[in-house]
Amino acid sequence: MNNKTPTSILITGGAGYIGSHTCRILSKKGLNLVVLDNLEYGHRDALEVSENLHFYQGSVGNESLLKKIFINHKIEAVVHFAAYTYVGESVAQPEKYYENNILQPMTLLRVMKSFGCVNIIFSSTCATYGNPHYLPLDENHPQHPVSPYGKSKYFLEQIIRDYSKAYGFRYVFLRYFNASGAAMDGSIGEDHDPETHLIPLLLKTAKGESGPLKIFGNDYETPDGTCLRDYIHVEDLAEAHFLALSYLQQRKASNAFNLGTGKGYSVMEVIHEVENVTNRKVPFEIVPRREGDATSLVAQASLAKSQLGWEAKHKSLYSIVESAWKWENGPSNGKYNN
Ligand SMILES: NC(=O)c1ccc[n+]([C@@H]2O[C@H](COP(=O)([O-])OP(=O)(O)OC[C@H]3O[C@@H](n4cnc5c(N)ncnc54)[C@H](O)[C@@H]3O)[C@@H](O)[C@H]2O)c1
Ligand SMILES: O=c1ccn([C@@H]2O[C@H](COP(=O)(O)OP(=O)(O)O[C@H]3O[C@H](CO)[C@@H](O)[C@H](O)[C@H]3O)[C@@H](O)[C@H]2O)c(=O)[nH]1
């Protein structure tokens, strides 16, 4: 690396669902990207091959690999997506979540600090709020997460806040609501193994590739008894990362932002929308509640609008489901080769 080496953004977990859509948008904006992903859940094929994108396979807790990356590239900011993300699994296996979502990122923070890189965008979540005291949820809503996954994200937020006070870190916490949909051109999309997310599961059920959808509880305090979520298109989320990078560079400030549409849909309403889009019946059955699920999570996202200039463009659930359906029925049938 010399003085002429261009600056790059390090994207951890960049081969995952939201990470790959974000890489695509940041690449199109002309940024140089370095992706670090251990490919446990991500896909190399989800990333375009480009001169402006360097890929390293490895873990966020691998200190020597991180040092190599910081020596080889002039990293001006880190976008930290890498994490385990399954709410239900985290209740049964908290150790797995605290190790991967807190301990490993501590190594990342240590290496950032030692190389003087203080800018971080962190993929946080509405799951840090827990059950709502009021709706929609704004950023000042108390954070009482009800799953180890949500707690792992909340604790890392607190750690980064302390690094900000003590070591001058600048951060943007992007608290995503429920990421969904696929690239509008159908080229990339969601491919998790196992798949546990509602919309892709429903689409697989509609295709006959999965059994009846198990609805986790219909005895919640919601209009139809099933949980409410705010489904936000993955390309809208991706765009927010570009704006957050500009915010860190220009404002040199730190903040937390909700990213959602402001409209909640129940599980039953999502099923009906999937039936509308696919023109197929989607069988379902009611099973007990899944531990760790909050009743309703709906965003108040006006702070992201006033501070970042961000607003969801894909506001209708129909168009979100339609984009995911296009990916499911595209040439790759909703699956990457690797
Ligand atoms: N999907 C959602 O609805 C949602 C909502 C709120 C927040 N988030 C957060 O957004 C981020 C991305 O979520 P996603 O849905 O794209 O998940 P994903 O599983 O598709 O992507 C995560 C990526 O990180 C990689 N990874 C995991 N642990 C790693 C480690 N220790 N070192 C290196 N790579 C590692 C995985 O291989 C994967 O490619 C996560 O932090 C998640 O908690 C997601
Ligand atoms: O087979 C299923 C799957 C889901 N659900 C329900 O559908 C809703 C959405 O569930 P899911 O798609 O699994 O997403 P979440 O559990 O809400 O978690 C996602 O959204 C969170 C933000 O809400 C993120 O933090 C997580 O990383 C991400 O996995 C919830 O009410 C679930 O109880 C079912 O009833 N049956």
pLDDT digits (tens, 9 = 90+) for 49-75: 899 999 999 999 999 999 999 999 999
Cβ(130)–Cβ(331) under 8 Å? no
Across the range 198-215, mean pLDDT stands at 96
Whose CA is closest to atom 11 on ligand 1? 81
Instruction: Starting from the CA of residue 152, give the closest ligand.
Output: 1
Of the residues 56, 84, 149, 154, only one is catalytic, namely 149
* Rounded Cα gap, residues 210 and 201, in angstroms: 7
Please report the pLDDT score of residue 162 as a whole number: 98
* Rounded Cα gap, residues 335 and 333, in angstroms: 6
Q: Is the pLDDT of residue 103 over 70?
A: yes
Residue 18 CB less than 6 A away from ligand 1: yes
Whether the complex's predicted ipTM surpasses the cut of 0.85: yes
Closest CA to 138 of 231, 257, 239, 238: 257
Please report the pLDDT score of residue 5 as a whole number: 76
Instruction: Starting from the CA of residue 57, give the closest ligand.
Output: 1
DSSP result, 115-144: TT--EEEEEEEGGGT-S-SSSSB-TTS---
Instruction: Quote the ligand 1 centre to 113 CA distance (angstroms).
Output: 23
Q: Percentage of the chain with pLDDT > 90?
A: 96
CA atoms within 13 A on the CB side of 245: 24
Please report the pLDDT score of residue 4 as a whole number: 73
Model's pTM, two decimal places? Answer: 0.98
Residue 83 CB less than 6 A away from ligand 1: yes
Q: Give pLDDT tens digits for 145-167.
A: 999 999 999 999 999 999 999 99
